[in-house]
Every structure is written in C-alpha cells, then in structure tokens.
Structure 1
Amino acid sequence: MDIKQIINEFHSLESTTYKDNTYNVISLFDLPHKLGTSKEHYPMFFIATNDAPYNIPNTIRELLSVEYDMECTINEVNGNSILRKFAIITLRSSDKHLQSYFIEIFAMMLMKMPQQPSKQELSIEVERLVTIFSALSATPRKKIQGLWAELLVIERSLDPQILINAWHSIPSSKYDFTLGRDKIEVKSTSSEERIHRFSLDQLNPSPSSRLLIASITVRESGQDLNGLSIRDLYDRICNRLQNIEAQIRLYTIIAQTLGNDINKIDAVCFDYITASDTLAFYDYQTIPRILKKDVPSNISEVRFVCNITKLKDITTSNSFDKNDSQLFNSLF
C-alpha cells in the first residue's frame, strides 16, 4: 500500500455535498475499506467489518469520532456506488498536516488487521488511535530538541527495533529507554561543551541497574541534505523496520510527546552530521553527582547541572562490559 499516494488522492478528493449519508471516497487498493471526506473535508475511514455480533459503544472525542454499524452510501471516483454498513472513523480537523498523519497511522493499522476485521479486532486498534489523537489535543510534554535527540539514538543504532521496544511509553518517564535492568537516558545540548541537567533520581538508579547517558550536540539547521526534521528521522527509522507494530509504536510516542506541536514534525530541522559526530555514551558512575543519601529527607525534586565534556566516552575503551546486554549491544 502506497500511503503517500493515498494521502495525495484524499487531498484532491472533492468534499461531500450531499445532505444524506452519502460520501465521496477513494479505494484503499485491494482492501474492502474506503477513505472518504465529509462536507468539511475531514478525512473519514469507512471500515468493512465482518458480521460477527459484538456490541461496542461509539467514541466521540475532541479530534476523533468512531461510529459502528453506520449505514451509508459511498460514491467511488470510478462511478461505483455502494450502500452498506461501515464502521466510520473520522478526524475532525481541517489541518492538512494532521490529516496526513491520521491517514498514515491508521493505514498502517489496517495493514496489520484481517481484510475484514471483526468489530472487536477493530476496536483494539481504535483504542490506540484514540490514545494518539487524545495526546495531540494535550499540552506538549517535551521540547522538540529532546525528542529529535532520542530519535537520533534510535536511527544511529544497530537494531532500532530493540530501541523502540525499550522506548518510554510516556515522555515523563525517568529514563528514555529501559530494558530489564539496563537503561539509557538521552541528553542534548546546543552549546560547545557537554553541559546537561539531571534530576537526582536519574543518576541514582537502583543498585542492580546499569545506566548509560547518551550525550548529543543538537543545533538547529535549515532543511537540506544535513538538516533533518523529526519526520525525516521517523522516515529513516521506518525504512529499517519490517514490523508495522514497531512503526505504530514509534509514531504513537512521537504524537504523545509533541501534542499540539505535531505540526512541527516537519517545521524544525537540526544538523544531522554534527549530532551524529558528537553522539557519545557515558557510564553514569563516572559522572559527578549528588548521592541520595546526602540529601536531607525533607528536600525533594533536586536537580543539578553537570559538565561531562572531559569524561571518557565508553565507545573509546573496553572498560564497559555490555556483552550480556541486548539493549547496549543494539547501540554500537
């Protein structure tokens, strides 16, 4: 399925002008489902489910609505007209960037479902879709620079699948990547020196944990061969993934992180060459830190800034043992 072709066809599709439940649609290649438009030119997926009985309530959210067993007439661009019941998923937004993201993410979900899914199978993916687009109406929880840096670590890794599986499910997690006892925290800076801000907890993991700090110099750039956006890194990572589930997880975390700033997925670019050349990894035990035992019990939310410029990158020596770590071995 060529998703970009589908997106282009949707944007050129005439808005529905009918008063009744009749809609203009385009085909999704060999799938029985359709993509259409409302009179406001909102994108609508018409999903042909099987006849298995299953009672699922409709979902109406700020940006997304999901309605099951809706009888309507769809008019295809080739002149065919079909009357039947569909499950209809609508994104209520006229923002073209948001529309494209909606079409892309749900088209990926359709590719991993049976050709005619049951309402129960569809509802599982719909819940994930609701999670993504509910996040888009929330306040962004992390700066774009930090997200870009985390994506760079995934993109530069030997096995992005492992990094994606270990990536935080919510942006406020203590560590960016966690797999068992092994953890990675990504820090970015735009200055000449590696000066990073840490919370007390970040540099005081549990005694059996192993923690690497990834440090990157990230500088804003114009969009060119070396100036890449979040979208560019996302595309590069997806080109290395065979698993659609991993692509969906990747997109979900991007959406949850950016919230209403999702339009900046294309708008802000950073220097890929500088970031790649400066990507380094440090054993947390070598970083000067405040120990928990030294903090009075009535003091909380301790944060501090540390300059790690002169510390030794573990990739330049054999002092760090990563042989039994799936997470660390996926990095380099």
Structure 2
Amino acid sequence: MIHGDVLRVFDLLEGRAHNASEGTESGYFVEIARADRPGIYLGVSQAGEKTFIVTSEQSQVPPPPLRLASIAVDYGIECQLREATSSRLVRVTVIRCLANEPGIIDVFTAMCAVLANSFNDRVTEREVAEELRRWSTLFWRLQERVETDVVGISGELVAIAASPNPDLWISAWHSRPNDLLDFIFDEAQVSVEVKATRSGKRRHTFSLDQIQTTGSLSRYVASVPVQFAESGESLADLIREISDRLNNDTSRLKLWEALSQVCGAGLEDVLARKFDVLAAKAGLAFFSADDIPSPVVERPFPTGVSRVSFHVDLDGVESFDSQYLDGLILV
C-alpha cells in the first residue's frame, strides 16, 4: 500500500460520510486497508476526522494513550464493527488525525500506508506502540519552530525525484540543517552537495570544506534552478510523487523524518509552495568538486577562523547529467 492508495480510500470515505444522514450514529465509516489483512481499517467520521484502526491483542503491560497537537492514539478500545449483514465486538487501537491542515494530513496518510504494510495477521498493542514510536517523534517535531531554507529543500527533493533510484538517495540523505554535505553514498564513497538558486545564473555559495576532498570521498555538486510560481507544482505534490515511487517503508519514513527536521511547525507553508518542477528537473546539472574554482587557503586555519565561504559562478564549469552520476553511485 502506498500514499496514493490511502488518499483514494480517504476520499471515498469522506464522500460516504458527507452523504450520510445528519446525526446518524455511525462512529467511523471504514474500509479494509488490505485485502489480506481484514483487521486493518481506514476510517472517516461524519465530521471528517481521519483515522487508522487496527485490531490488536491486549498486552500484559498496556501502552499509555498518546496525545499530540495533531494525532491521538488510544489502545484497548472495544467497539462495534457493523458490516453489511452483521455486527461484532472488536478490540482495536485507534489512531486519529486531529489536524485539518493538508500538510499534516499528508504526513498522517503516509504513516497509515506504512503501518498498513507493517502489521501481520496478529498484532499486540505493544507492537503497535513500537511501530508508532518513530512516527510520534516525527509528529512531535512538527510542533517545533524551525527556520527552513525552502529553496534548498526544493533543490534536494528535485535531485531525489530525478533519480531512477530514489530509495538510494533517501538512504544517503543527511537532511539536518547543520550537516556539511546533503547526500553521502557510503558504499560508492561519493557525496553530493545540492545547491539551489532562484536566479538565472548558477551562482552558488560554498564552504571550503564542501569543495575540497578529504579522505576517500569523491565529491560532487548538484545545481538546481528553482523558480517559484503559482502555476507550478506544489512541494506536497512532488513529495507524494517521490513517496509513491519508493520501494520500501523504511525510505518513506525517512523521507518524512527528514522533512519534519527541516520544516518543523512550518511544514504546512513549505508544502504549499509552488515552483516549476519540470524546469528544475531539466535544469539539474552535476559538477565534480575538483573542477570548481576555490581559493587556496593554508591549513590549519588561523586561530579564531573556523569556516571559509566563497561565491562561484558555475556557468563556465564543465557539467554532466544525472545519468553519469547514477552510474557512479549504483555500485
């Protein structure tokens, strides 16, 4: 099950809930998420609240309920499941989305897809809590105020989306704002630093440590033109495109973990930004760090100097396309 599958089910259920008679005692309108696992449900209440429901066995030590600004989790809920011709009492864990913002709903939808793929025929409440642990940390980060470089994150997502193997790029992604390099492919011993620009020229700012090769890493730079426009594609759309192309749930979780780290409470505004994605992909170019001009600075730096930064115009530097770089990292 992927992100798009969950969205389609939620859309179907929203229509069903909307058409229900006012005041109908319905709880949640639900659909089985996986045909091979009948105890996993996606639901929507008449008020539009989205939920993930899984039948779960009681644990010896029951997990405590979880309450965050955007999600709530309750274990050991006994509810009546009404089917076409019968009804039965079931014990479930209920995970509710408390937010109405599209960005948070996107994260919740991605989580539902991963959880639906994770659970087998029998699952305990403790096992559900363990699967939720990293996601709850992610939702907690979405409450924090973070300064986000929207141009930079747009460029990194374009580099991932342009690759035929986005899982490999996600696994190599070092997304914390203070990381020196954006992507490190350990097995290939290759790093890629992504530089995005809103100007018409490939003029970027580097630190000396990003350019000068140390150790066994071969260093490369990706240059991405980012032009924001209301007629463009939103970052949310680009992220859904990437998520649906990923081959495993570990990559999907890491994608949203990285976004929560760099966006925090600003996720909603970031995902709403629109830019010309096709032009950005077409303009993506790669450069060897060895070909990029840099100042000659004696090391170690003088006392009190910890960083040297400089501007470079890459328009006159030889570049290559993503196909060449993919050949280097797909070892």
TM-score class, shorter-chain normalisation, is 0.7 to 0.9
| Cα distance per residue 1:15-61 (max 9 Å; x no partner) | 99799xx8323122433133345787543322211356454333333
State the identity as a percent: 24
The structure where helix makes up a greater share of residues is 2
2:236 alignment partner in structure 1: 231
Equivalent position to 1:248, from 253, 263, 274: 253
Check conservation: 2:234, 2:272, Cα contact below 8 A: yes
Which shifted more, 49-58 or 161-170? 49-58
1:163 alignment partner in structure 2: 169
Within 1, Cα distance between the matches of 2:163 and 2:8? 30
Structure 2 letter corresponding to 1:145? V
Equivalent position to 1:121, from 99, 119, 127: 127
Within 2, Cα distance between the matches of 1:75 and 1:103? 24
Equivalent position to 1:58, from 53, 61, 65: 65
1:33 is paired with a residue whose SS is strand
Unaligned runs of 5+ in 1: none
Deviation at residue 93 of structure 1 after TM alignment: 1.8
CA RMSD of aligned residues (A): 3.4
2:42 alignment partner in structure 1: 35
Deviation at residue 116 of structure 1 after TM alignment: 3.2
Structure 2 letter corresponding to 1:71? E
Check conservation: 2:205, 2:311, Cα contact below 8 A: yes
2:301 alignment partner in structure 1: 295
Alignment of 1:262 with 2:251, yes or no, is no
| Cα distance per residue 1:73-95 (max 9 Å; x no partner) | 4566x586543322222232233
Alignment of 1:221 with 2:258, yes or no, is no
> How do 1:1-332 and structure 2 match up within 5 A?
2-12=5-15, 13=17, 23-29=27-33, 30=35, 31-36=38-43, 41-51=48-58, 53-73=60-80, 81-168=87-174, 170-180=176-186, 181-223=189-231, 227-264=232-269, 267-290=272-295, 291=297, 293=299, 295-315=301-321, 325=328, 327=329, 329=330
Unaligned runs of 5+ in 2: none
Structure 2 letter corresponding to 1:311? V
Count of residue pairs the alignment pairs up: 318
Structure 2 letter corresponding to 1:179? F
Check conservation: 1:25, 1:34, Cα contact below 8 A: no
Deviation at residue 198 of structure 1 after TM alignment: 2.1
TM-score if structure 2 supplies the norm length?
A: 0.80
